[in-house]
Homo-oligomer: A and B are copies of this chain.
């Protein structure tokens, strides 16, 4: 990274091309205003999210979905944050997240505590408590059940197949579009409904207009139910080189749940850019930030690939 500059990537229509603009960021209030004129939507920015976000205005982001480097992970990029220092490393960034997030917005934090000396470390618990002190509401904890967790065998524990999806908000009331993530009803009523309709037909022949038929009408067309706070998703790898933190399904679910078309989604630890890809696919705007130039380029390539594919599809 060169001094006082960051690199901004953006996707263009041209296949396999991207522009790199050098933009001064770390500026005082006057110049900051000028920068604000810069459209940060649909950009991938290389830099430290804590610094980059200082150039983003208050209350301008609708949703933050991210999976920060866990303690002692992504050492080459983030230097491997020590578990004991995790909270103090994270909180200045969380303060920026708080500032840029709209009052009606949500922050989804994918995280899981490491095992240290045979014990689960407590930095995630401490992080939640500290977030509250900094004004965040710990609204909910969703559970990601990783259906295909990596194998492994230890004498004192099994494979770790779940991760936390902490849901923080700024207010008790926030935007939530529950209908957007309704799911087909369970196998239970599928089979029952199937059988029910057969019975219905049978009875319909013998007796028309009874109250029974009315009962059926309540079920017919009601294929969808609201999900719970447990998400069952398999992990996926974008390619052999760079494994994604989570499958595209995951940010997709929260993007549909907490935003509408045109809203802006931020991933401050963008990595291979799964959040941005999901956002773009769902016609939302994205802002991805990552320290690593390699990851930024990978992300922009993925976004370009997807745009191209969608373009081809349109022309078909």
Interface positions of A (Cβ within 8 A of B): 117-120, 122, 125-126, 128-129, 132, 137-141, 143, 145, 149, 153, 155-162, 172-174, 176, 178, 187-188, 194, 196, 226-230
**Chain B residues whose C-beta falls within 8 Å of the C-beta of A122 in the assembled complex:** 128-129, 132, 138
Tell me the bound Cα distance from A229 to B157 in angstroms: 8
User: What separation, in Å, do the CA atoms of A187 and B129 have in the docked complex?
Assistant: 41
9 sampled A-B residue pairs with Cβ under 8 A: A118-B172, A119-B138, A120-B140, A125-B128, A139-B157, A143-B162, A156-B172, A158-B226, A187-B196
What does DSSP make chain A's interface, helix, strand, loop or mixed?
Answer: mixed
Report copies per complex.
Answer: 2
CB-defined contacts of A138 to chain B, threshold 8 Å: 119-120, 122
Question: For A122, A156, A160, A187, which residue has the most chain B Cβ atoms within 10 angstroms?
Answer: A156
Cβ contact of A230, chosen from B129, B132, B145, B173, cutoff 8 A: B145
Neighbouring B residues of A139 by C-beta, 8 Å? 118-120, 156-157
Question: Contact: A229 with B176, CB < 8 Å?
Answer: no
In the complex, which residues of chain B have a beta carbon less than 8 angstroms from the beta carbon of A172?
Answer: 117-119, 156
Closest residue of chain B to A174, judged by CB? B156
How many Å from the CB of A205 to the closest CB on chain B? 22
Chain B residues with CB under 8 Å of A155's CB are 173, 176
B229 x A159 contact (CB < 8 A): yes
CB distance from A261 to the nearest CB of B (A): 21
Minimum CB–CB distance from A272 to chain B (whole Å) comes to 25
> 10 closest A-B pairs (Cβ-Cβ)?
A161-B228, A118-B172, A125-B125, A159-B228, A161-B230, A143-B162, A158-B229, A120-B138, A119-B137, A140-B157
Do the beta carbons of B194 and A227 come within 8 Å of each other? no
Minimal Cβ-Cβ distance residue in B for A115? B140
Distance between Cα atoms of A174 and B157 in the complex (Å): 11
Among B157, B159, B176, B230, contact of A156 (Cβ-Cβ < 8 Å): B176
A300 → chain B, closest Cβ, in Å?
34
In the bound assembly, the distance between CA atoms of A226 and B154 in angstroms comes to 11
**Which of A138, A153, A227 has the most CB atoms of chain B within a 10 A radius of its CB?**
A138
Chain B residue contacts of A141, Cβ below 8 A: 120
In the bound complex, what is the Cα–Cα distance between A310 and B122 (angstroms)? 45
Distance of A222 from chain B, by nearest CB (Å)? 14
| Alpha-carbon distance between A140 and B155 when the two chains are bound, in angstroms | 12
Instruction: Determine if B160 and A229 form an interchain contact, defined as CB atoms under 8 angstroms apart.
Output: yes
Report A156 CB to chain B, min CB distance, Å: 6
